[in-house]
Amino acid sequence: MASHRIERTTEDIKRELTAIFRELKDPRVTQAFLSIVRVEVTNDLSYCTVKVSAIEGLDRAKEAAKGLKSASGYIRRELGHRLRLRHVPELIFEPTDSIEYSANISRILNSLDISESEDNEDES
């Protein structure tokens, strides 16, 4: 039962963080096209690790994470108001390069020149 509550809270936090990120005025955050890759909450709701990624790459994600860290007090307060949690977890922002990595894989797959005639011969 508790596992379901943690999963639901995690999804609620992810949804609200996405909305809060759009309202931030820090140029390190607004100039990057950020995406929340994963949100992990501890069982006692004391810590919340938010993995963010930027299309521009890992360096931009690191800068955005610094901006998010400096605004973490505001973000926690907003989460508390929006979700009505008794205890709002401490936010830890970690930059990742998953968007850049997946975009690179997509480019590689698209650059492969596989003609349709070869596909049809393989099926026969």
Domain layout of the chain by residue ranges: 2-112
pTM: 0.77
Tokens for 28, please give them: 């390190």
Superfamily classification of domain 2-112: K homology (KH) domain (3.30.300.20)
The rounded distance, in Å, linking the Cα atoms of 5 and 23 is 27
**What pLDDT shows up at residue 122?**
59
Strands 47-54 and 90-96: parallel
pLDDT of residue 113: 73
Task: Name the β-bridge partners of 36.
Answer: 52
What confidence score (pLDDT) does residue 116 get? 58
Q: 13 with 79: CB under 8 angstroms? A: yes
The pLDDT of residue 1 is: 44
- Residue tagged 């004391």 (tokens): 46
Which of 106, 114, 101, 90 lies closest to 35 in space, CA to CA? 101
Residue 68 has what pLDDT? Answer: 94
Which segments in the chain show pLDDT lower than 70?
1-2, 115-124
